[in-house]
Amino acid sequence: MARDYQRHDRDYRLPQAAYMATLWVIRDYQRMKEEYASIGTISSPNCDGMPHAAGGRDANADDAIRAAAIAEKISAIEKSLQAVPADLRRGVWESIQYRSPYPQDADRTTYGRAKARFVRDVAKRLKIV
């Protein structure tokens, strides 16, 4: 298994905890997409007319809050990925998602710089740094 290496370039270097947190948010992208799609449609709350009845929580509000948080993360990842040059995008994505080696079509330092910019951009958009 490849190590999660962070470049030493001071422009893109993050604190280790922020770097790892950002990587794991990016790796969680597919699950977040599935969860966002599975959040049910908003339905009317079950009320029995009693002021302090059991089930006083509004499940729709909880789902809406959760959906908004997930949508923010998904949007940050997708916008940052669009900033990566198109010919490097797949290699950077697979390097983070599957820890696979970079393709041989460009030098690994080129991919490393693009990956560092991508991770830094996601961290900034999610306000991790």
Neighbour-count burial of 2, counting CB atoms closer than 10 A to its CB (0-12 exposed, 13-18 middle, 19+ buried): exposed
Contacts of 11 (CB under 8 A, 6+ apart): none
Q: Please count the other Cβ atoms lying within 10 Å of the Cβ belonging to residue 123.
A: 23
| pLDDT the model gives residue 2 | 58
* In a domain? residue 93: yes
* In a domain? residue 72: yes
* In a domain? residue 4: no
| pLDDT the model gives residue 8 | 84
Query: Number of folded domains in the chain?
Result: 1
Domain limits at 119? 22-38+57-125
SS3 16: helix
* In a domain? residue 27: yes
In this predicted model, which residue has the larger pLDDT, 43 or 68? 68
* In a domain? residue 95: yes
**Average pLDDT score over residue span 77-101:** 96
Is residue 85 predicted with pLDDT exceeding 60?
yes
| pLDDT the model gives residue 70 | 97
